[in-house]
Homo-oligomer: A and B are copies of this chain.
Amino acid sequence: MSDTRENIVDKAEELIRTKGYNAFSYGDIAGVLHIRNAAIHYYFPSKADLGVSVVDREIDKIASSREEWGDLPGNVQLRKVVERFYGSHRRGWICLNGSLTPDFLTLPDPLQKRVKEMCEVILDWMTESLEKGRKDGTLAFAGEAESRALLVISSLLSSLLLSRVLGKEVFTRMLDQLLKDIECAPDR
């Protein structure tokens, strides 16, 4: 992939995660990368194509992490995910899920399809990690793993939304409580 193409996708992801899909324009990207509007259309004929590329890349990243971390204990997998969210929080970015699901009904069909796929992949992964943690004794929680996964995803997603509005302390407060709820005491 050419540098320009990748730079465009990078910038598009940042804009989606700071301003939202409907609030960013080709002009925003062109301005920062010092290229013209038309150059972006060369790589991505429509805005939907650009959005699809951003989400597709995220789906790939998730698959990579899942494979890379597959052998780790359940609680460590969970903590890796939390760390990634902490990185987003420090940059003031929300996650793609938190940005694109509220706008879902306004997204072009191909993009809706990818967002749905991304959500399914995230849920499947989180469910598997939680099940593993319950089996290896590093996590403890009531109910089905998939229900728990949905609630964990909720907390991660919302921690970025709410801390943006209520203040950064909210992020730590939420994720600390989340981990206390679900993690077994490490020394026992």
A binding-site residues for B, Cβ under 8 Å: 18-20, 22-23, 92, 94, 97-99, 101-106, 115-116, 119-120, 123, 142-144, 146-148, 150-151, 153-155, 157-159, 161-162, 164-166, 170, 173-174, 176-178, 180-181
List chain B residues, Cβ under 8 A from A94: 102
Stoichiometry, as copies per complex, reads 2
Report the Cα distance A181→B176, complex, angstroms: 17
Which of B23, B154, B162, B174 lies in contact with A162, CB distance below 8 A? Answer: B154
Which of B154, B164, B173 lies in contact with A147, CB distance below 8 A? Answer: B173
B162–A101 contact, CB under 8 A? yes
With A120-B166, A158-B153 in contact, do A102 and B102 touch (Cβ < 8 Å)? yes
List 13 A-B pairs, Cβ < 8 Å: A19-B106, A98-B102, A98-B161, A101-B165, A102-B103, A115-B165, A143-B177, A148-B177, A150-B162, A154-B154, A155-B155, A157-B158, A157-B161
